[in-house]
Amino acid sequence: MNLFLYLIIQLIIHLWLLIKYPIIIICKFSKMIIPYYSIILQEKRLLLREAFKISDLFYWNNFINIPPYCASIGPNTSETTVISFIRMFIEGPEVSLNGSPTVSPTTAAL
């Protein structure tokens, strides 16, 4: 359905451009006849590309530049980190090394 709608919209745009710009340009260098609306379509693509660049700038300037403290805002983020560190220090190295795939045979023997 989306593809069908897209094709219909493209057809309407092409027909509108053909009606609005029926002039035919004769290219002197290659001696080919080029419909003017194809040049307009290329300009439209450039305008769309520029519009996307502007929207990207708007996005980066307005949504990415958030204060750094907002990155750690969340339910109990700092509390969870503190509890994890306390548990790790109390229980010792066995907690982090038992069952770890990176444990060498020497560490496992200790």
Q: Which residues contact 33 (CB under 8 A, 6 or more apart)?
A: 24, 25, 26, 27
Residue 52 domain-assigned? yes
Domain hosting residue 22, numbered range: 17-64
The number of distinct structural domains making up the chain is 1
Q: Is residue 55 part of a domain?
A: yes
pTM above 0.95, yes or no: no
- CA separation for the pair 17, 11 (Å, rounded): 10
Does some domain include residue 7? no
6 within a domain of the structure (yes/no): no
Domain-located, residue 83: no
For the segment 31-54, what is each residue's pLDDT rounded down to a tens digit?
Answer: 444 555 555 566 666 666 665 555
Show the tokens assigned to 87. 């548990």
* pLDDT band per the 50, 70, 90 thresholds, residue 6: confident
Residue 10 lies in a domain: no
* Confidence label for 28 from pLDDT (cuts 50, 70 and 90): very low
- In tens, the pLDDT along 62-104 reads 555 555 555 555 555 666 777 777 777 777 666 555 555 555 5
Residue 78 lies inside a defined structural domain of this protein:
no
- Taking residue 37's Cβ as centre, other Cβ atoms within 10 Å add up to 21
